[in-house]
Amino acid sequence: MSRSRPDTATRARIVQNLARRDGARCFYCRSPFAPDMTGVTLDHYVPRALWKTWRQRNLVLACSPCNTAKGSVLPWTVAALLLRNVRENQLWRDACAGASSPSV
């Protein structure tokens, strides 16, 4: 899918796909949506500011309060996984081993 906002028909199809994938509930608070999906918003799990995509693997259904509360923050679970992968990288370990402690 492109980087531009999907049209209304495509958005409706995405909402239905995500409802089948994740259940018709808010991804964050797990509150159920009405059968007509009133109140649903699409949230970019990894913020769009960091990953400019409308691919469904990065989208979740969220109620408006949860979507607003999350904002454009990277969820801590994703940040922790990224940090773990960086710390396990040999280049990272080599760079840290060569760093000296700041003098106090």
With 80 as the cut, is the pLDDT of residue 13 above it? yes
Would you say residue 15 lies in a domain?
A: yes
Q: Provide the domain limits for residue 33.
A: 8-73
Could you report the per-residue pLDDT of 16-74, keeping only the tens digit for each? Answer: 999 999 999 999 999 999 999 989 999 998 888 888 889 999 899 999 999 999 888 87
Would you say residue 78 lies in a domain?
A: no
With 90 as the cut, is the pLDDT of residue 75 above it? no
Would you say residue 92 lies in a domain?
A: no
Which whole-number Å values give the CA distances from 69 to 23, 43, 62, 76, 84, in the listed order? 21, 11, 10, 14, 26
- CATH number (domain holding residue 60): 3.40.1800.10
Would you say residue 97 lies in a domain?
A: no
Would you say residue 93 lies in a domain?
A: no
Q: Please tell me whether the overall predicted TM-score, pTM, comes out greater than 0.75 for this model.
A: no
Give the count of domains, the chain: 1
Show the tokens assigned to 98.
């060569």
